[in-house]
Chain A
Amino acid sequence: MPIKRVKPGDFTRTPVEKAPDPQLGHAIIAKERYTSPDFMKLEWERMWKRSWLMGCREDDIPEPGDYVCTEIGREAILIVRQADMSIRAFYNVCQHRGNRLVPPGIGKLKSFKCAYHHWEYGLDGDFVRIPDKETFPQGTPCQGLPEVACDSWGSFVWYNLNKQAEPLAEFLGVIPEHLDPYHFDRMAMTRDWTIEWDCNWKASVDAFNESYHVQGIHPQLLYYLDDLDIQIDCYGRHSRYLVPFATTSPRVKETSDIPPLIRLIMKQAGMDPADFDGKTREVRLAVQKWKRENGAAQGYDYSDLNDDQLTDDYHYLIFPNITLNVHADDLMLFRQRPHPTDPNNMFYDLQNFRLLKQGEEKPERPEHRFYRHGEKSLGQVLDQDAYNLPGVQLGMQSEGFPGLWLGDQELRIRHFHKVIDDYVYGPDQAETP
């Protein structure tokens, strides 16, 4: 029985039409891009330095002087709330002897003073004070902190190291139209972890860009979602797939008893599974109907979301490194950052958000935590993903492995690497590695 989906003509703000599949062939994706320091350098120069990157949330820095220092590769970027409430971004580096001004993280300052010789910069990056200024006969550098392009969308602050970058809105393309109906600004962060993972950052992106691995490393999810009836859409540099939740996979027999993970979805919606007489594969539509009818009374405004969005995973990749598991009531965000020097290492930023009830006071922001690979459980499903990745990275370095042999279920991975190639080698100039 095929899964019922919202179709053209039904209410939706997020476009639901299937995008035509890009014709990207079936070639092997060469493995060297995961392991080669040379490719890493090209990727840095031509892709990371030219892409809009997620820096922080707007409400991480609510007041003038609030700042976030975020790292990408060898760079550290200061994102600073200005006196006029605008947001600007600067390189976090003193123009005197190159010292970093502040460590990574969130803070609040009236000015940025270098700890070395106390060169001091205002929130706007301009010099405030240089001790013994008269001992520099050549004068002072003509600018303060070098500025970085910065803009906001979807409650997040983005920056771009390329001063000639296209506007953020142009870079994001269809993404705002697709995701604005979720109102991320109504969500509050509940977890902010970074885990240093022993793999290339692209291995992490790949791990979440296909559903084929569900039957492999997440067998329990076969009783939670439909991993085969998935709509894959590739848009320019970004992509998504739509995964029906609150149902069982066609790979397993439908159970008489409603599986525990699906019961959990029902309970989170305020339904009582013990009071439900339908079959397991009828739960998804029943939850949609329930949330549509009861959401407002529970304090949740789902009016901009279509029915499928009330249960399903609308899963987006915002190129190059933001993976979004988007649901009506929550958002799970992965930001995948390269290690500054080692292609076999990365930083996996894991942030969870939950939709606040109307009128609910925003809870305090959770403190950022940092863990080594495997040091701390991320929850069963992400642990399964994490456990697998070091083996993938080691295998990439084997003489016995030429590269990724991708199937149709992995189209988003092929698309992702095509977009990287477009940056690294120029459009339609893709070559190995």
Chain B
Amino acid sequence: MDLGLKGKKAVVTGATKGIGRKIVEALADEGVDIAICSRTAEEVEETLAVLRAKGVNAVGEAVNVRDGEAYKAWIAKAGEQLGGIDILIPNVSGGAGMDSEKNWQRNFEVDVMGSVRAVETAVPFLKKSGEGSVVFIVSTNAIETFAAPMAYNALKASLITYSKQLGQFHGKRRIRFNALSPGPIFVEGGAWDMIKTSQPDFYNATIAAHPFGRMGSAEEVAKAVAFLASPAASWVNGTHLIVDGGYTKGVHF
């Protein structure tokens, strides 16, 4: 099956590490031109070199998503540099934490407003695409109780509602909106890598709770994201796809 991604142009935030990194690599493998951002210029350059080696146009720079104006300016600039935007994947996150009230502000600014601002800035480009697609990276923490009551979980959940409503609102502009929730994903240097070393009992219990007896990989998430983002998913709009190897127990009718 041809996903129809070749020649498309994608903006992916927070794409130098983890799931975001594998998303841009998967898209580049399908011939998608890519714009990325992250907090660190060196990491952006390193990622761009890997993407360009795959034969696609890749641009990007260091941006602090919490700086709303700079972030929106970068999204618009990325659209200009790529010559359009067909795919938007707001992936960046403020991360988990229960330090203070500021965790709520942080996740609001990064996870929620990082998505809202990206959508609002990218819609003028996406509606010119004719096959526009937005995929919000959420988390199974949004749909099932996990670990602790954190801002991360509750604010990630808001993106599912936002995505559904955008899918209705922008359908006439031929832009699809979907949310995708990865379960526990093992990434080197990621949270589970740290937990594997520092809390091996919790790590092993989580592994054991997976039907397949392992965690997912970032590549497995990236493939599902690539499908949702692609014209091959042309009739998939306003849905929420859980990519967790069957880890969560809730039934979604």
Q: Which A residues form the contact surface with B (CB < 8 A)? A: 219-220, 222-223, 252-259, 263, 267, 272-275, 277, 279
Contacts and interface: CB of A to CB of B under 8 A. Distances in A.
A263 B190 contact: no
B99 A273 contact: yes
Interface stretch (B29-37, B116-124, B193-201, B228-236): B193-201
By CB atoms of chain A within 10 A, which of B102, B105, B197, B199 has the most?
A: B197
Given A220-B197, A256-B18, A263 B189 contact: no
B81 interface: no
Given A219-B197, A222-B198, A277-B39, A253 B188 contact: yes
Given A252-B194, A255-B191, A267 B66 contact: no
Interface in B25-76: 39-40, 64, 66
A256 B95 contact: yes
B99 A256 contact: no
Contact of B102 (A223, A252, A257, A275): A275
Given A219-B197, A257-B194, 17 more contacts: A219-B198, A219-B200, A220-B197, A223-B194, A252-B193, A254-B189, A255-B190, A256-B95, A257-B96, A258-B97, A259-B198, A263-B99, A273-B97, A274-B97, A274-B100, A277-B66, A279-B39
B106 interface: yes
Contacts of B197: 219-220, 222-223, 252
Contacts of B106: 274-275
A223 B95 CA distance: 17
Report the interface size class on chain B: 20 to 34
Contacts of B40: 279
Contact of B199 (A220, A273, A277): A220
Given A253-B189, A256-B95, A257-B97, A272 B102 contact: yes
21 contacts: A219-B200, A220-B197, A220-B198, A220-B199, A223-B197, A223-B198, A252-B197, A253-B188, A255-B189, A255-B193, A256-B17, A256-B95, A259-B194, A272-B99, A272-B100, A272-B102, A274-B97, A274-B99, A275-B102, A277-B39, A277-B64
Contacts of B199: 220
A257 to B, nearest CB: 4
A274 B111 CA distance: 13
Interface string B156-171: 0000000000000000
A179 to B, nearest CB: 31
